[in-house]
Amino acid sequence: MIGLIGKKLGMTRIFDEKGNMIPVTVIELGPNPITNLRTDETHGYTATCLGFEQKREKLVKRAQKGHYAKLGLPAPRIEREIRDMRLEGKRIGDTLKCSLFSAGDKIKVSGVSKGKGYAGVIRRHHFAGPVGTHGTHEFFRHGGAIGAHTFPGRVWKGLRMAGQMGAEQVTVAGLTVVRVDADANLIMVKGAIPGPAKSIVLVRKS
């Protein structure tokens, strides 16, 4: 499993050799320094810890300063752990760049979706709503009855109701890398990915 941490910059479009328009999402991917390595012998599983961007000096705690000073690295603002990421010859302190990806790669992108605030059942769960006539009045966008008769006499956990919409972890698979600019640490992915602009995303090969 190959993965890197990046930042969603926004969407644009590019054109291929035949003049076809391709909608793409631009991601600033890396550079990601390796901050730690998990091994089966020591931790019971294999993983690679990656950092992204640099944390402001006044926000770094004393213990973190000592930890990263031993590694010779600045304290990262974002740190993620990627399971089963095996890179031959890589050590703590090495930097991974978007050159690990190439055009045509199939990837999956994980991020936090846009928060929509408090939403009703029609917007949140696509309910049809009650009919607009035949005695219906005052209640046109409600979800209807939520009870379960005498037994079990309660509302089932997980019932689709109004509530906070969005702002949850979402993974979109089956995306395709269209273009890679290793000098600018940018990749272009066909289609949309979760989250607003400038949000942090995790890009992994499918």
Q: Which pair of tokens denotes residue 112? A: 């936090």
In DSSP terms, 80 is beta-bridged to 50
pLDDT tier, 161 (very low <50, low <70, confident <90, very high otherwise): very high
CATH code matching the domain that covers 31-96, chosen among 3.30.930.10, 3.90.1150.10, 2.60.120.590, 3.30.160.810: 3.30.160.810
What's the pTM? Answer: 0.84
User: What is the predicted pLDDT for the residue at 27?
Assistant: 97
Q: What is the pLDDT of residue 73?
A: 87
pLDDT > 70 in the chain, percent: 100
DSSP string, 92-122: TT-EE-GGG--TT-EEEEEEEPPEEEEE-HH
Do 175 and 111 meet the contact criterion of CB atoms below 8 Å apart?
no
* pLDDT tens, position by position, 93-125: 889 999 999 999 999 999 999 999 999 999 999
- Residue ranges of the chain assigned to CATH 3.30.160.810: 31-96
The contacts of residue 28 (CB under 8 Å, 6+ apart) are 6, 7, 9, 185, 186
Is 1-30+100-114+167-206 assigned to CATH 2.70.70.10? Answer: no
Alpha carbon distances (Å) from 106 to 73, 115, 199: 31, 27, 21
| CATH 2.40.30.10 placement within the chain | 1-30+100-114+167-206
